[in-house]
Structure 1
Amino acid sequence: MTPAAVASSFHTALITTSSGRSTVLCHEVLPVVAFVASPPQAGASLPEFTPPPTWAAAFEMGGFRLLDVDELSMPLASADTSELAEEELEQVGYWRPSTVGELMFNWWD
């Protein structure tokens, strides 16, 4: 499968500031953003989640919620998945994500 053929549940943006580079993951449906250590490679495991940089508050002013590392690293077994649709639960059963981050930001949507 070519990278262009890989579906994902998110979009990415690489933002460069005077203090360095940050990779932002923007969920395709939900108004949430997360940050990872380096740009993801299509179809591969996501890089490690990182805390939002200080300038990320700008996303909150735009109506987005910043996801922190603890929330994204939470075992899926400990998360409340009661609001997921039947189709989403089927995908969880098939792909078996182990964390909230793996469920929210994935290549199988």
Structure 2
Amino acid sequence: MIRVARGATGFWGHGDAPLPQVEVAAFNTVCHAVARSIRGTVAELAPAGATSNFHVARITAPGMRSNVLCHEALPVIAFTASPPQAGVPLTQFSSPPGWAHAFERCGFRLLDVDELSTPLAMADTGELAEAEREQVRHWCPGTVGELMFNWWD
């Protein structure tokens, strides 16, 4: 069973310890190093916004384009085939490309499609704080991926 870690929603409650933050600068540095290693570039990098709980980078190389998502509180990385659109739930995750293991060497964990596509009802959410559970009840994400990479406000 997949366990969903505290902070996966990006929320914490009054009186809860604040969530750790993945620095956008660290994510940016890793993205540029990865891009250089495949003779590519970081075409775009957008930090987590007012409503998203993830940073996004688009890495391009000849014949290849990947959208890299980095959770703002947990050191995890996911990939999508098309760029995320503000407010639209993320449901189309893609497998990490072969070059993605460079993120692991920098302390990130790669999330695979099977994990992200797991129905939330089949995941262990016992670590989530009560404030996170309230958000889950309100937004009703269907999968682990929808919970972890969201536009909730």
TM-score, structure 1 normalization? 0.91
8 A contact 1:34–1:68 mirrored in 2: yes
**Could you give the per-residue CA deviations for residues 31-88 of structure 1, whole angstroms, max 9, x where no partner exists?**
0000001111111132510000001001000000000000000000000000000000
8 A contact 1:10–1:106 mirrored in 2: yes
8 A contact 1:6–1:43 mirrored in 2: no
Identity among equivalent positions (%) equals: 69
The structure whose RCO (Cα within 8 Å, separation 6+) is larger is: 2
The answer to whether structure 1 residue 77 and structure 2 residue 141 are counterparts is no
1:12–1:98 distance in 2 versus 1, CA, 3 Å: same
Distance 2:116 2:88 in 1: 17
User: Displaced runs of 4+ in structure 1, greater than 2 A?
Assistant: none
Alignment of 1:1-109 (within 5 A): 7-46=51-90, 48-109=92-153
Higher-Rg member (1/2)? 2
1:6–1:47 distance in 2 versus 1, CA, 3 Å: farther
CA-CA distance at 1:18 after TM superposition: 2.7
1:75–1:47 distance in 2 versus 1, CA, 3 Å: closer
Unaligned runs of 5+ in 1: none
8 A contact 1:6–1:42 mirrored in 2: no
Unaligned runs of 5+ in 2: 1-48
TM-score, structure 2 normalization? 0.66
